[in-house]
Amino acid sequence: MISAAFNSLKSSFSLPNFDFSLFKPDIKEQLPYISGDIIEHLPPDKKEILDKLLDNLSIEDFTKFLLNALENIRLGKLANPIHPFNTFEFFLSTEDRIEKTKNIYHKTGMQIGFEHFKNQSIQGFCCFLKDRFDKKELLSNLEEFCKKTHKDIKLLQPLIEKENFKEFVEEILVNF
């Protein structure tokens, strides 16, 4: 009964779905994969963007979360030129960032709407991963990425090869 009421309330909300092709950066703007320590080699302005975006997306109060929605879209557009592997590396680079990442991807179900934005975020990463896959910029960097993030290459490589980017993103950001 509670589930039916929740689903009814949830369906009454009209939350935006994004056309991620509009968010893709110009090819000239795209940063190549950054080898080595992401904290040392990521340009300071990009670090600032990712830190602010991570802070905003990890807000637990849904009202405050929504108040940051337009800024998050702006920040997301500024972050999109960063290689998705480097974004994941940044999100997983310190205990504080890992906790914020967990807060983003594990708070679903707590309040109406978070699940929608989590799914939109995952779809966005899938879009950018597909773009980099098509340019042959994923498999060639996967080994270093896995070493830096302590992820299992034997698990992730088949996901990329099969272009199962949703499961790839979930493995990186949801399955800790």
Rounded Cα gap, residues 157 and 77, in angstroms: 27
For residue 141, the model assigns a pLDDT of: 98
pLDDT tens per residue across all 176 residues of the chain: 444 444 544 444 455 555 555 556 666 789 999 999 999 999 999 999 999 999 998 888 888 888 888 898 899 899 999 999 999 999 999 999 999 999 888 765 455 567 777 888 889 999 999 999 999 999 999 999 999 999 999 999 999 999 999 999 999 998 87
Residue 141 corresponds to which amino acid? N
Single pTM value for the model:
0.84
Tokens 């940044």 locate to 90
Predicted pLDDT at 39? 95
Residue-level pLDDT at 9: 42
Query: How far is CA 94 from each of CA 17, 56, 97, 143, rounded to the nearest angstrom?
Result: 31, 17, 5, 20
Q: Which residues lie closer than 8 Å to 17 by C-beta, 6 or more apart?
A: 120
- Beta-carbon contacts of 14 under 8 Å, excluding residues fewer than 6 positions away, are none
Per-residue pLDDT at 118 = 80
User: How far apart (Å, rounded) are the C-alpha atoms in residues 151 and 165?
Assistant: 15
Which residue in 156, 144, 146, 151 sits closest to 176, CA to CA?
151
- Residue 105's pLDDT is 83
Largest CA distance in the chain: 53
Q: Residue 78: its pLDDT value, please?
A: 93
Contact in structure between 76 and 16 (CB atoms under 8 Å): no
